[in-house]
Chains A and B, each alone.
Chain A
Amino acid sequence: MTKLIIILLSAVFINNYVLSRFLGICPFLGVSKKLDSATGMSIAVIFVMLMATAVTYPIQMYLLVPNDLGYLQTIVFILVIAALVQLVEIVLKRYIPSLHKSLGVYLPLITTNCAVLGVTILNIDEGYTFLEAMVNSLGSGLGFFLAMVMFSGVRSKIEGADIPKSFKGLPVTLIAASITSLSFLGFGGVIENLFA
Protein backbone atom coordinates (compact mmCIF):
# COMPACT_ATOMS: atom_id res chain seq x y z
CA MET A 1 0.00 0.00 0.00
CA THR A 2 2.78 2.41 0.96
CA LYS A 3 4.46 1.69 -2.33
CA LEU A 4 1.30 2.61 -4.25
CA ILE A 5 1.03 5.91 -2.39
CA ILE A 6 4.68 6.66 -3.08
CA ILE A 7 4.17 5.88 -6.78
CA LEU A 8 1.11 8.10 -6.93
CA LEU A 9 2.65 11.06 -5.13
CA SER A 10 5.95 10.89 -6.95
CA ALA A 11 4.14 10.71 -10.30
CA VAL A 12 2.22 13.86 -9.38
CA PHE A 13 5.01 15.92 -7.85
CA ILE A 14 8.52 14.62 -8.42
CA ASN A 15 8.34 12.98 -11.84
CA ASN A 16 5.70 15.37 -13.10
CA TYR A 17 5.37 14.57 -16.79
CA VAL A 18 5.21 18.16 -17.93
CA LEU A 19 7.46 19.93 -15.48
CA SER A 20 10.27 17.47 -14.91
CA ARG A 21 10.11 14.95 -17.73
CA PHE A 22 9.14 17.59 -20.33
CA LEU A 23 6.62 15.38 -22.07
CA GLY A 24 3.33 16.77 -23.36
CA ILE A 25 4.70 20.30 -23.66
CA CYS A 26 2.56 21.01 -26.73
CA PRO A 27 -0.80 20.96 -24.95
CA PHE A 28 0.88 22.49 -21.89
CA LEU A 29 1.69 25.63 -23.89
CA GLY A 30 -1.17 25.43 -26.37
CA VAL A 31 -4.20 24.80 -24.20
CA SER A 32 -3.22 26.49 -20.96
CA LYS A 33 -4.51 29.93 -21.88
CA LYS A 34 -7.86 29.49 -20.20
CA LEU A 35 -8.72 27.57 -17.07
CA ASP A 36 -11.78 25.92 -18.69
CA SER A 37 -9.92 24.43 -21.60
CA ALA A 38 -6.95 23.50 -19.39
CA THR A 39 -9.26 21.51 -17.11
CA GLY A 40 -11.03 19.89 -20.08
CA MET A 41 -7.77 18.84 -21.65
CA SER A 42 -6.36 17.49 -18.38
CA ILE A 43 -9.43 15.40 -17.62
CA ALA A 44 -9.26 13.94 -21.11
CA VAL A 45 -5.57 13.17 -20.57
CA ILE A 46 -6.19 11.42 -17.23
CA PHE A 47 -8.94 9.38 -18.85
CA VAL A 48 -6.87 8.38 -21.86
CA MET A 49 -3.75 7.61 -19.79
CA LEU A 50 -5.71 5.16 -17.66
CA MET A 51 -7.37 3.53 -20.67
CA ALA A 52 -4.09 3.35 -22.59
CA THR A 53 -2.25 1.69 -19.71
CA ALA A 54 -5.06 -0.79 -19.17
CA VAL A 55 -4.81 -1.87 -22.80
CA THR A 56 -1.09 -1.60 -23.56
CA TYR A 57 0.15 -3.32 -20.39
CA PRO A 58 -1.46 -6.70 -21.23
CA ILE A 59 -0.35 -6.36 -24.86
CA GLN A 60 3.24 -5.90 -23.75
CA MET A 61 3.15 -8.69 -21.16
CA TYR A 62 1.15 -11.33 -23.01
CA LEU A 63 1.86 -10.59 -26.67
CA LEU A 64 5.14 -8.77 -27.18
CA VAL A 65 7.37 -10.20 -24.42
CA PRO A 66 6.56 -13.93 -24.91
CA ASN A 67 7.12 -13.59 -28.67
CA ASP A 68 10.38 -11.66 -28.30
CA LEU A 69 8.89 -8.62 -30.00
CA GLY A 70 9.90 -5.99 -27.44
CA TYR A 71 11.33 -3.80 -30.18
CA LEU A 72 7.83 -3.34 -31.64
CA GLN A 73 6.70 -1.67 -28.41
CA THR A 74 6.65 1.93 -29.68
CA ILE A 75 4.84 1.32 -32.94
CA VAL A 76 2.30 -1.09 -31.42
CA PHE A 77 1.57 1.28 -28.55
CA ILE A 78 1.06 4.23 -30.88
CA LEU A 79 -1.26 2.15 -33.03
CA VAL A 80 -3.26 0.92 -30.06
CA ILE A 81 -3.51 4.32 -28.37
CA ALA A 82 -4.64 6.01 -31.58
CA ALA A 83 -7.35 3.41 -32.17
CA LEU A 84 -8.35 3.50 -28.52
CA VAL A 85 -8.84 7.26 -28.49
CA GLN A 86 -10.98 7.06 -31.62
CA LEU A 87 -13.05 4.30 -30.05
CA VAL A 88 -13.49 6.25 -26.83
CA GLU A 89 -14.61 9.24 -28.85
CA ILE A 90 -17.24 7.23 -30.71
CA VAL A 91 -18.53 5.69 -27.48
CA LEU A 92 -18.67 9.02 -25.69
CA LYS A 93 -20.42 10.70 -28.60
CA ARG A 94 -23.12 8.03 -28.51
CA TYR A 95 -23.65 7.54 -24.79
CA ILE A 96 -22.35 10.61 -22.93
CA PRO A 97 -22.73 13.48 -25.42
CA SER A 98 -22.29 16.09 -22.69
CA LEU A 99 -18.85 14.75 -21.74
CA HIS A 100 -17.96 14.41 -25.42
CA LYS A 101 -18.85 18.04 -25.95
CA SER A 102 -16.89 19.29 -22.95
CA LEU A 103 -13.79 17.30 -23.95
CA GLY A 104 -14.38 18.59 -27.47
CA VAL A 105 -11.37 18.84 -29.72
CA TYR A 106 -8.95 17.81 -26.95
CA LEU A 107 -9.83 14.14 -27.11
CA PRO A 108 -8.57 13.54 -30.69
CA LEU A 109 -5.60 15.83 -29.92
CA ILE A 110 -4.43 13.41 -27.25
CA THR A 111 -4.08 10.64 -29.84
CA THR A 112 -0.56 11.76 -30.58
CA ASN A 113 0.31 13.22 -27.20
CA CYS A 114 3.75 12.04 -26.16
CA ALA A 115 2.86 12.15 -22.46
CA VAL A 116 0.35 9.33 -22.98
CA LEU A 117 2.83 7.24 -24.93
CA GLY A 118 5.49 8.11 -22.36
CA VAL A 119 3.37 6.85 -19.46
CA THR A 120 2.65 3.53 -21.13
CA ILE A 121 6.27 2.92 -22.05
CA LEU A 122 7.72 4.07 -18.71
CA ASN A 123 5.24 1.81 -16.87
CA ILE A 124 6.87 -1.12 -18.60
CA ASP A 125 10.44 0.17 -18.16
CA GLU A 126 9.94 0.69 -14.41
CA GLY A 127 8.86 -2.95 -14.08
CA TYR A 128 5.55 -2.10 -12.39
CA THR A 129 2.81 -4.63 -11.78
CA PHE A 130 -0.53 -3.96 -13.44
CA LEU A 131 -1.96 -2.25 -10.35
CA GLU A 132 1.16 -0.14 -9.87
CA ALA A 133 1.08 0.79 -13.54
CA MET A 134 -2.53 1.97 -13.25
CA VAL A 135 -1.72 4.00 -10.12
CA ASN A 136 1.27 5.53 -11.89
CA SER A 137 -0.93 6.49 -14.87
CA LEU A 138 -3.48 8.08 -12.57
CA GLY A 139 -0.72 10.00 -10.80
CA SER A 140 0.79 11.12 -14.09
CA GLY A 141 -2.61 12.33 -15.27
CA LEU A 142 -3.18 14.17 -12.02
CA GLY A 143 0.30 15.70 -12.33
CA PHE A 144 -0.59 16.89 -15.82
CA PHE A 145 -3.84 18.32 -14.44
CA LEU A 146 -1.97 20.12 -11.66
CA ALA A 147 0.60 21.58 -14.05
CA MET A 148 -2.08 22.73 -16.51
CA VAL A 149 -4.28 24.35 -13.88
CA MET A 150 -1.34 26.04 -12.15
CA PHE A 151 0.07 27.28 -15.39
CA SER A 152 -3.25 28.63 -16.66
CA GLY A 153 -3.27 30.75 -13.50
CA VAL A 154 0.26 31.94 -14.19
CA ARG A 155 -0.65 32.74 -17.77
CA SER A 156 -3.70 34.78 -16.88
CA LYS A 157 -1.38 36.91 -14.70
CA ILE A 158 1.11 37.25 -17.56
CA GLU A 159 -1.68 38.35 -19.90
CA GLY A 160 -2.24 41.48 -17.84
CA ALA A 161 1.41 42.24 -17.10
CA ASP A 162 3.44 44.93 -18.81
CA ILE A 163 6.07 42.91 -20.66
CA PRO A 164 8.87 44.24 -22.89
CA LYS A 165 7.87 43.91 -26.51
CA SER A 166 10.54 41.37 -27.40
CA PHE A 167 9.33 39.00 -24.66
CA LYS A 168 5.64 39.17 -25.46
CA GLY A 169 3.80 35.97 -26.33
CA LEU A 170 5.67 32.68 -26.39
CA PRO A 171 9.06 33.82 -24.96
CA VAL A 172 7.62 34.99 -21.65
CA THR A 173 5.42 31.90 -21.53
CA LEU A 174 8.47 29.67 -21.85
CA ILE A 175 10.32 31.60 -19.15
CA ALA A 176 7.32 31.29 -16.85
CA ALA A 177 7.14 27.57 -17.63
CA SER A 178 10.78 27.10 -16.71
CA ILE A 179 10.33 28.92 -13.40
CA THR A 180 7.26 26.80 -12.62
CA SER A 181 9.30 23.73 -13.48
CA LEU A 182 12.15 24.89 -11.19
CA SER A 183 9.72 25.21 -8.30
CA PHE A 184 8.76 21.55 -8.75
CA LEU A 185 12.43 20.63 -8.31
CA GLY A 186 11.91 21.41 -4.64
CA PHE A 187 9.78 18.28 -4.22
CA GLY A 188 12.76 16.04 -5.00
CA GLY A 189 13.37 13.54 -2.21
CA VAL A 190 10.45 14.73 -0.12
CA ILE A 191 8.06 11.86 -0.84
CA GLU A 192 10.51 9.02 -0.16
CA ASN A 193 11.46 10.53 3.16
CA LEU A 194 7.82 10.95 4.18
CA PHE A 195 7.47 7.18 4.48
CA ALA A 196 11.03 6.36 5.45
Chain B
Amino acid sequence: MNAILTAVIPVVAIGFICAVVLVAASIIMAVKEDERIPKVRECLPGANCGACGYAGCDGYAKALVEEGVQANLCVPGGAAVAKEISEILGVEAGEVEPKVAVVHCGGDCKSTEDKINYIGIQSCSASKLVFGGKGQCGYGCLGLGDCREACPEDAICIENDLARINTSLCIGCGICAKACPNHLISLVPARRRADVLCSNKDKGAVTRKICSDGCIGCRKCVKVCPKEAIDIVDNHAVVDYEKCVGCGLCAKECPVGCIVKIDN
Protein backbone atom coordinates (compact mmCIF):
# COMPACT_ATOMS: atom_id res chain seq x y z
CA MET B 1 0.00 0.00 0.00
CA ASN B 2 2.78 2.33 0.99
CA ALA B 3 4.69 1.65 -2.22
CA ILE B 4 1.65 2.57 -4.29
CA LEU B 5 1.19 5.81 -2.37
CA THR B 6 4.81 6.86 -2.72
CA ALA B 7 4.49 6.34 -6.46
CA VAL B 8 1.08 7.96 -6.92
CA ILE B 9 1.62 11.02 -4.76
CA PRO B 10 4.69 12.44 -6.59
CA VAL B 11 3.08 11.90 -10.02
CA VAL B 12 -0.17 13.54 -8.92
CA ALA B 13 1.80 16.34 -7.31
CA ILE B 14 3.85 16.97 -10.45
CA GLY B 15 0.71 16.83 -12.57
CA PHE B 16 -1.03 19.26 -10.24
CA ILE B 17 1.90 21.68 -10.27
CA CYS B 18 2.04 21.52 -14.08
CA ALA B 19 -1.71 22.17 -14.27
CA VAL B 20 -1.52 25.15 -11.92
CA VAL B 21 1.42 26.63 -13.81
CA LEU B 22 -0.35 26.16 -17.16
CA VAL B 23 -3.61 27.67 -15.94
CA ALA B 24 -1.79 30.60 -14.39
CA ALA B 25 0.26 31.13 -17.54
CA SER B 26 -2.76 31.00 -19.82
CA ILE B 27 -4.54 33.61 -17.67
CA ILE B 28 -1.57 35.90 -17.17
CA MET B 29 -0.34 35.68 -20.72
CA ALA B 30 -3.66 35.58 -22.51
CA VAL B 31 -3.44 37.09 -25.99
CA LYS B 32 -6.25 39.42 -26.90
CA GLU B 33 -7.92 38.56 -30.19
CA ASP B 34 -9.13 41.22 -32.54
CA GLU B 35 -12.81 41.68 -31.72
CA ARG B 36 -13.66 41.82 -35.40
CA ILE B 37 -12.73 38.16 -35.84
CA PRO B 38 -15.88 36.76 -34.15
CA LYS B 39 -17.98 39.32 -36.02
CA VAL B 40 -16.57 38.27 -39.39
CA ARG B 41 -16.91 34.66 -38.36
CA GLU B 42 -20.61 35.15 -37.79
CA CYS B 43 -21.14 36.46 -41.32
CA LEU B 44 -19.54 33.39 -42.85
CA PRO B 45 -21.85 30.47 -43.62
CA GLY B 46 -20.09 28.07 -41.25
CA ALA B 47 -20.01 25.16 -43.68
CA ASN B 48 -16.23 24.82 -43.03
CA CYS B 49 -15.93 23.67 -46.63
CA GLY B 50 -12.45 25.07 -47.18
CA ALA B 51 -13.25 26.50 -50.62
CA CYS B 52 -11.55 29.76 -49.59
CA GLY B 53 -8.27 27.90 -49.15
CA TYR B 54 -8.15 28.28 -45.35
CA ALA B 55 -8.78 25.69 -42.68
CA GLY B 56 -12.48 26.30 -42.14
CA CYS B 57 -14.47 29.47 -41.55
CA ASP B 58 -12.49 30.31 -38.40
CA GLY B 59 -9.25 30.27 -40.34
CA TYR B 60 -10.65 32.46 -43.07
CA ALA B 61 -12.09 34.96 -40.56
CA LYS B 62 -8.67 35.20 -38.90
CA ALA B 63 -6.91 35.67 -42.23
CA LEU B 64 -9.43 38.34 -43.26
CA VAL B 65 -8.84 40.44 -40.16
CA GLU B 66 -5.13 39.87 -39.64
CA GLU B 67 -3.74 39.48 -43.12
CA GLY B 68 -6.28 41.50 -45.06
CA VAL B 69 -6.94 38.83 -47.66
CA GLN B 70 -9.67 39.33 -50.23
CA ALA B 71 -13.21 39.28 -48.90
CA ASN B 72 -14.65 37.47 -51.90
CA LEU B 73 -13.09 34.05 -51.41
CA CYS B 74 -16.15 32.51 -49.77
CA VAL B 75 -17.91 30.65 -52.58
CA PRO B 76 -20.92 29.32 -50.64
CA GLY B 77 -21.60 32.73 -49.10
CA GLY B 78 -21.34 34.51 -52.40
CA ALA B 79 -21.65 38.25 -52.93
CA ALA B 80 -23.90 38.83 -49.92
CA VAL B 81 -21.31 37.55 -47.45
CA ALA B 82 -18.49 39.35 -49.21
CA LYS B 83 -20.46 42.59 -48.84
CA GLU B 84 -21.15 42.05 -45.14
CA ILE B 85 -17.52 41.23 -44.43
CA SER B 86 -16.23 44.22 -46.31
CA GLU B 87 -18.61 46.45 -44.35
CA ILE B 88 -17.13 45.18 -41.08
CA LEU B 89 -13.58 45.53 -42.31
CA GLY B 90 -14.16 48.70 -44.29
CA VAL B 91 -12.70 47.43 -47.55
CA GLU B 92 -14.11 47.06 -51.05
CA ALA B 93 -15.97 43.89 -51.89
CA GLY B 94 -14.74 42.03 -54.94
CA GLU B 95 -16.95 40.21 -57.42
CA VAL B 96 -17.74 36.63 -56.53
CA GLU B 97 -18.03 34.30 -59.46
CA PRO B 98 -20.69 31.74 -58.47
CA LYS B 99 -19.55 28.23 -59.27
CA VAL B 100 -21.12 24.82 -59.43
CA ALA B 101 -19.64 21.36 -59.61
CA VAL B 102 -20.04 19.25 -62.74
CA VAL B 103 -19.40 15.54 -63.17
CA HIS B 104 -17.55 15.20 -66.45
CA CYS B 105 -18.89 11.76 -67.24
CA GLY B 106 -22.03 10.60 -69.01
CA GLY B 107 -21.40 6.88 -68.84
CA ASP B 108 -24.39 5.44 -66.97
CA CYS B 109 -25.37 1.77 -66.95
CA LYS B 110 -27.07 2.12 -70.33
CA SER B 111 -24.07 3.41 -72.21
CA THR B 112 -21.23 1.42 -70.71
CA GLU B 113 -20.86 -1.98 -69.07
CA ASP B 114 -19.11 -3.45 -66.07
CA LYS B 115 -15.96 -5.43 -66.68
CA ILE B 116 -15.95 -7.09 -63.26
CA ASN B 117 -18.57 -7.96 -60.68
CA TYR B 118 -17.30 -5.81 -57.80
CA ILE B 119 -18.49 -6.99 -54.41
CA GLY B 120 -15.88 -5.29 -52.18
CA ILE B 121 -16.17 -2.21 -49.98
CA GLN B 122 -18.83 0.06 -51.40
CA SER B 123 -16.77 3.19 -51.96
CA CYS B 124 -15.28 4.65 -55.12
CA SER B 125 -11.77 4.92 -53.75
CA ALA B 126 -11.79 1.26 -52.67
CA SER B 127 -13.21 -0.03 -55.94
CA LYS B 128 -10.72 2.09 -57.88
CA LEU B 129 -7.95 -0.01 -56.34
CA VAL B 130 -9.36 -3.18 -57.92
CA PHE B 131 -8.36 -3.11 -61.60
CA GLY B 132 -9.11 0.62 -61.74
CA GLY B 133 -12.81 0.27 -60.95
CA LYS B 134 -15.59 -2.05 -62.00
CA GLY B 135 -16.57 -0.27 -65.20
CA GLN B 136 -15.11 -0.73 -68.65
CA CYS B 137 -13.91 2.86 -68.67
CA GLY B 138 -11.01 3.55 -66.34
CA TYR B 139 -11.70 7.29 -66.39
CA GLY B 140 -15.45 7.25 -65.78
CA CYS B 141 -17.73 7.61 -62.79
CA LEU B 142 -17.30 4.69 -60.39
CA GLY B 143 -20.85 5.20 -59.18
CA LEU B 144 -20.41 4.28 -55.54
CA GLY B 145 -21.02 7.76 -54.23
CA ASP B 146 -17.86 9.03 -52.49
CA CYS B 147 -18.91 12.46 -53.74
CA ARG B 148 -22.42 11.96 -52.39
CA GLU B 149 -21.00 11.13 -48.97
CA ALA B 150 -18.70 14.14 -49.07
CA CYS B 151 -21.28 16.70 -50.19
CA PRO B 152 -22.26 18.94 -47.25
CA GLU B 153 -25.49 20.02 -48.97
CA ASP B 154 -26.86 16.65 -50.16
CA ALA B 155 -26.77 17.95 -53.70
CA ILE B 156 -25.46 14.75 -55.27
CA CYS B 157 -27.38 11.60 -56.06
CA ILE B 158 -26.38 8.43 -57.90
CA GLU B 159 -28.62 7.52 -60.82
CA ASN B 160 -27.92 4.47 -62.96
CA ASP B 161 -24.39 4.15 -61.55
CA LEU B 162 -23.60 7.75 -62.37
CA ALA B 163 -23.22 10.70 -60.01
CA ARG B 164 -25.53 13.59 -60.77
CA ILE B 165 -25.31 17.01 -59.19
CA ASN B 166 -28.36 19.11 -58.46
CA THR B 167 -27.00 22.49 -59.48
CA SER B 168 -29.69 24.38 -57.60
CA LEU B 169 -28.48 22.86 -54.33
CA CYS B 170 -24.75 22.98 -55.16
CA ILE B 171 -22.86 25.68 -53.27
CA GLY B 172 -19.67 25.26 -55.28
CA CYS B 173 -17.42 24.30 -52.37
CA GLY B 174 -15.50 21.71 -54.39
CA ILE B 175 -15.36 19.06 -51.66
CA CYS B 176 -16.80 16.48 -54.06
CA ALA B 177 -14.07 17.29 -56.58
CA LYS B 178 -11.49 16.31 -53.97
CA ALA B 179 -13.41 13.16 -53.02
CA CYS B 180 -13.62 11.74 -56.56
CA PRO B 181 -10.74 9.28 -57.11
CA ASN B 182 -11.05 9.73 -60.87
CA HIS B 183 -11.02 13.55 -60.64
CA LEU B 184 -14.17 13.71 -62.72
CA ILE B 185 -15.75 16.59 -60.86
CA SER B 186 -14.61 20.13 -61.39
CA LEU B 187 -15.91 23.54 -60.42
CA VAL B 188 -17.19 25.52 -63.37
CA PRO B 189 -18.76 28.98 -63.57
CA ALA B 190 -22.48 28.69 -62.84
CA ARG B 191 -23.27 30.80 -65.92
CA ARG B 192 -21.57 28.29 -68.24
CA ARG B 193 -23.44 27.42 -71.44
CA ALA B 194 -22.03 24.03 -72.37
CA ASP B 195 -20.53 21.03 -70.63
CA VAL B 196 -18.51 18.10 -71.90
CA LEU B 197 -19.67 14.95 -70.15
CA CYS B 198 -16.61 12.80 -70.73
CA SER B 199 -13.09 12.65 -69.34
CA ASN B 200 -11.83 9.57 -71.19
CA LYS B 201 -8.22 9.98 -72.28
CA ASP B 202 -8.13 6.88 -74.51
CA LYS B 203 -7.98 7.15 -78.27
CA GLY B 204 -11.36 7.42 -80.01
CA ALA B 205 -11.49 3.82 -81.20
CA VAL B 206 -10.90 2.48 -77.68
CA THR B 207 -13.45 4.84 -76.16
CA ARG B 208 -16.00 3.90 -78.80
CA LYS B 209 -15.83 0.23 -77.84
CA ILE B 210 -16.32 0.72 -74.11
CA CYS B 211 -18.86 3.56 -73.90
CA SER B 212 -21.52 4.78 -76.29
CA ASP B 213 -21.49 8.22 -74.69
CA GLY B 214 -17.72 8.71 -74.59
CA CYS B 215 -15.95 11.49 -76.45
CA ILE B 216 -14.08 10.01 -79.41
CA GLY B 217 -12.12 13.16 -80.15
CA CYS B 218 -13.56 13.52 -83.65
CA ARG B 219 -13.06 17.31 -83.59
CA LYS B 220 -16.49 18.01 -85.10
CA CYS B 221 -17.31 20.33 -82.21
CA VAL B 222 -13.98 22.11 -82.60
CA LYS B 223 -14.74 22.79 -86.26
CA VAL B 224 -18.33 23.85 -85.77
CA CYS B 225 -17.72 26.23 -82.86
CA PRO B 226 -17.88 29.81 -84.10
CA LYS B 227 -15.91 31.17 -81.15
CA GLU B 228 -13.10 28.57 -81.08
CA ALA B 229 -14.15 27.78 -77.53
CA ILE B 230 -13.64 24.02 -77.76
CA ASP B 231 -10.38 22.17 -77.92
CA ILE B 232 -9.44 18.50 -77.78
CA VAL B 233 -7.19 17.87 -74.79
CA ASP B 234 -6.08 14.31 -73.94
CA ASN B 235 -8.43 12.84 -76.55
CA HIS B 236 -11.56 14.50 -75.23
CA ALA B 237 -13.27 17.84 -75.80
CA VAL B 238 -12.81 20.70 -73.32
CA VAL B 239 -14.90 23.88 -73.32
CA ASP B 240 -13.38 27.28 -72.61
CA TYR B 241 -16.19 28.81 -70.57
CA GLU B 242 -14.91 32.34 -71.12
CA LYS B 243 -15.23 32.09 -74.89
CA CYS B 244 -18.40 30.00 -75.08
CA VAL B 245 -21.52 31.96 -76.06
CA GLY B 246 -23.98 29.10 -75.76
CA CYS B 247 -24.97 28.72 -79.42
CA GLY B 248 -25.46 24.98 -78.90
CA LEU B 249 -23.99 24.01 -82.28
CA CYS B 250 -21.47 21.67 -80.68
CA ALA B 251 -24.17 19.81 -78.78
CA LYS B 252 -26.10 19.28 -82.03
CA GLU B 253 -23.02 18.23 -83.95
CA CYS B 254 -21.57 15.78 -81.41
CA PRO B 255 -22.05 12.24 -82.79
CA VAL B 256 -22.03 10.63 -79.33
CA GLY B 257 -23.92 13.33 -77.50
CA CYS B 258 -21.32 13.95 -74.84
CA ILE B 259 -21.61 17.74 -75.10
CA VAL B 260 -24.72 19.25 -73.57
CA LYS B 261 -26.04 22.77 -73.90
CA ILE B 262 -26.89 24.40 -70.57
CA ASP B 263 -29.80 26.82 -70.55
CA ASN B 264 -29.35 29.45 -67.90
Are B11 and A93 neighbours in the complex by a CB distance under 8 Å?
A: no
Are A93 and B29 neighbours in the complex by a CB distance under 8 Å?
A: yes
Are A87 and B25 neighbours in the complex by a CB distance under 8 Å?
A: yes
Are B6 and A86 neighbours in the complex by a CB distance under 8 Å?
A: no
B31 interface residue (CB < 8 Å to A)? yes
Chain B positions 1-29 with a Cβ under 8 Å from a chain A Cβ = 6-7, 10-11, 14-15, 18-19, 21-22, 25-26, 29
Cβ–Cβ < 8 Å partners of A83 in chain B: 18-19, 21-22
Stretch of A15-23, A73-81, A108-116, A176-184 contacting B (4+ beta carbons < 8 Å)? A73-81
Min CB–CB distance B112 → chain A (angstroms): 25
Min CB–CB distance A115 → chain B (angstroms): 21
Known: A63-B10, A67-B10, A69-B6. A86 touches B31 (CB 8 A): no
Known: A83-B18, A94-B31. A76 touches B25 (CB 8 A): no
Are B14 and A76 neighbours in the complex by a CB distance under 8 Å?
A: yes
Chain B contact surface mostly: helix
Known: A67-B6, A83-B18, A86-B22. A75 touches B11 (CB 8 A): yes
| CA of A87 to CA of B253, assembled, Å | 69
A91 interface residue (CB < 8 Å to B)? yes
| CA of A80 to CA of B15, assembled, Å | 8
Interface size range on A against B: 20 to 34
Cβ–Cβ < 8 Å partners of A97 in chain B: 31
A90 interface residue (CB < 8 Å to B)? yes
Are A90 and B14 neighbours in the complex by a CB distance under 8 Å?
A: no
Interface size range on B against A: 10 to 19
Cβ–Cβ < 8 Å partners of B14 in chain A: 59, 76, 79-80
Are A69 and B10 neighbours in the complex by a CB distance under 8 Å?
A: yes
| CA of A71 to CA of B11, assembled, Å | 12
A4 interface residue (CB < 8 Å to B)? no
A72 interface residue (CB < 8 Å to B)? yes
**Which residue of A71, A80, A94, A95 contacts B18 across the interface (Cβ within 8 Å)?**
A80
Cβ–Cβ < 8 Å partners of B19 in chain A: 83
- Which of A59, A86, A90, A95 is the most central at the interface, judged by chain B CB atoms within 10 Å of its CB? A90
The residue on B at minimum CB distance from A84 is: B18
Are A90 and B7 neighbours in the complex by a CB distance under 8 Å?
A: no
Cβ–Cβ < 8 Å partners of A67 in chain B: 6, 10
| CA of A66 to CA of B25, assembled, Å | 30
Are B10 and A93 neighbours in the complex by a CB distance under 8 Å?
A: no
Min CB–CB distance A179 → chain B (angstroms): 28
A-B contact pairs, 11 of them (CB 8 A): A59-B14, A63-B10, A69-B6, A69-B7, A79-B14, A79-B15, A82-B18, A83-B19, A87-B22, A90-B22, A90-B25
Q: A79-B15, A83-B18, A86-B22 are in contact. List 13 more A-B contacts (CB 8 A).
A: A64-B10, A67-B6, A67-B10, A69-B6, A71-B7, A76-B10, A79-B11, A83-B19, A83-B21, A83-B22, A87-B22, A90-B25, A93-B31
Measured CB to CB, the residues of B under 8 A from A are 6-7, 10-11, 14-15, 18-19, 21-22, 25-26, 29-31
Measured CB to CB, the residues of A under 8 A from B are 59, 63-64, 67-69, 71-72, 75-76, 79-80, 82-83, 86-87, 90-91, 93-95, 97
Enumerate the 3 nearest inter-chain pairs by beta-carbon distance, A residue then B residue, closest first.
A83-B18, A94-B29, A90-B25
